[in-house]
Chains A and B, each alone.
Chain A
């Protein structure tokens, strides 16, 4: 069996959901080892050992890895690379940041954001904002992959009983230092794993108007997203962005409000199970992918919808 190293994403307390999806993709390639590099992240290592299908956990506990600084994390993975044929992480901002650095240091061509594992050398991924689906075959002896989390089910968080091996930290590379983080606190579910997503586009008109989407989202237990146009216009922060250059989501229900449906946005949400579009322009391309389209004034329809779904 090939040995596959999945680089775990976490905040020193909780294992990220993206990692569970990456584990599923990695299992198609071989035995999975999860690397948990963190600071005071013992609970993450325990959680990693309990993930179904994980054969082994390698745990490094050192202040150097507290914030997953790419320079030091990549150096660590490269130092332990000999025993592994594959290196995998979720295609989150964490995976996108660190995996190409690992790939280049190992002189391996990374395959980004895979949606299917065909065999040990062949993978499927989208190019051109989801307008083409490519089958890519590597000639390298090893693979470095990032995994589109919506394309692989999450590995079960419970049921595994992997052994945990502790290893030593490396000397600091001293190239980059973590300074700080500004995380938006929200009671709402995470955009990439929410069951329902309510997204707004340029048609929202302003950031203040997103309040009506938030009211709907609260009733539905939904996350709030946005199109690139809405982020570009400064209505909402970038972490709301759904699309080619933002987040990829595939909830059970996606409600697109005031979003025209540019291909770059569709690339991020067209695998949703059910899509609802609300737009005043009946020619908007979003209606070509929507299961249910409602033409009209969103400022009237959204509050009406919020009332209609109000929990008793």
Chain B
């Protein structure tokens, strides 16, 4: 089974982002960037499927500026076999949007013919949670979203999904798209020898033009502002004081 794993370079999970004073967006210059955490889980799952002998090859793909290649190197240091970089100068948090990303990925899928696309359920910058579902729609493939367990079965996959009420399992025909959730696995750290080896693994370069996709955004981020701030309240000394305040002052008890 051949796997394609799309990954996104985003502002690191631990960075407290700042809104630009002119309201044009979030300041992403000089902040630490990392692989989107859910995409790391997708890479890890792909590697585990290869280690089990289910998968034969893992191709990572990322769309973005030149530095997206650093993120692809990380994926290859973890265990991806090779990479594809689709170069664009658009800001990947606001100007390059899920529908256009899905169209680019569809074009990559049509060149690579994977049996399974494994990807994060959500990028932690734009928080859209759309791309996997859109890619599945455009390809006419089944989707297993928010996966916490992936089990190959006869001619397909059983995917256990994290849903609001608990867990749900769907059986998908292959080829398919699976978006992964938090509890699927714990991603490994790349070892130093693997980081060195990853430097020699190939990265193919493509452009949206070569893939024949118009990436002009449909949505305009007209304004980006600081959210309303919540004021800190007071410290209470003990439980009786807390209960008293909740009853008399806050009126919620």
Contacts and interface: CB of A to CB of B under 8 A. Distances in A.
A270 B229 CA distance: 9
B239 A137 contact: no
A74 B167 contact: no
B219 interface: yes
Interface in A177-235: 177-184, 192, 196, 220, 228, 231-232
Interface stretch (A25-33, A53-61, A157-165, A239-247): A239-247
A1 interface: no
Nearest to B10: A128
B1 interface: no
Contacts of A71: 136, 142-143
A101 B127 CA distance: 17
B43 interface: no
A292 B219 contact: no
A288 interface: yes
Interface string B5-19: 000000101001101
Contact of B236 (A111, A128, A136, A294): A294
B103 to A, nearest CB: 9
B173 A109 contact: no
A140 B129 contact: no
Given A138-B218, A231-B183, A239-B164, A132 B133 contact: no
A290 B233 contact: yes
Interface in B198-223: 217-223
B146 A97 contact: yes
Contacts, number: 262
A34 interface: no
A137 B221 CA distance: 7
B166 A274 contact: no
Interface stretch (A43-51, A79-87, A304-312): A304-312
Nearest to A11: B165
Contact of B138 (A104, A113, A238, A292): A104
B227 A74 contact: no
A92 B158 CA distance: 22
A289 B230 contact: yes
A45 to B, nearest CB: 21
B240 interface: yes
A138 B219 contact: yes
Interface string A122-149: 1000111111111111111000000000
A275 B124 CA distance: 25
Contacts of A184: 165-166
Given A70-B143, A183-B166, A253-B252, A238 B224 contact: no
A174 interface: yes
Interface residues of B, number: 84
A287 B182 contact: no
B242 A132 contact: no
Contact of B232 (A104, A139, A220, A288): A288
Interface stretch (B45-53, B69-77, B94-102, B107-115): B94-102
B26 A183 contact: no
The main secondary structure of chain B at its interface with chain A is mixed
Interface stretch (B54-62, B82-90, B188-196, B243-251): B243-251
A178 B158 CA distance: 10
B127 A179 contact: no
Contacts of A135: 221-225
Contact of B125 (A128, A140, A274, A293): A128
B224 to A, nearest CB: 5
A2 interface: no
Contacts of A192: 164
Given A129-B124, A292-B236, A122 B227 contact: no
B130 interface: yes
Nearest to B93: A127
B109 to A, nearest CB: 14
Contact of A104 (B26, B99, B146, B158): B99
A274 B252 contact: yes
27 contacts: A92-B164, A93-B161, A94-B164, A97-B143, A97-B146, A100-B98, A100-B129, A100-B134, A103-B130, A103-B134, A104-B133, A109-B97, A110-B130, A128-B93, A128-B124, A133-B225, A133-B226, A135-B224, A138-B220, A139-B220, A179-B170, A181-B165, A181-B166, A252-B252, A274-B246, A292-B242, A292-B250
Interface of A: 67, 69-71, 74, 92-94, 96-105, 107-113, 122, 126-140, 174-184, 192, 196, 220, 228, 231-232, 237-239, 241, 244-245, 247, 252-253, 263-264, 270, 273-276, 287-295, 301, 304-305, 308-309
Interface of B: 11, 13, 16-17, 19, 25-26, 38, 93-94, 97-99, 102, 121-122, 124-138, 140-146, 148, 158, 161-173, 181-183, 217-228, 230, 232-236, 238-240, 242-243, 245-246, 250, 252-253
Given A128-B93, A228-B182, 5 more contacts: A104-B99, A128-B26, A176-B171, A178-B169, A245-B122
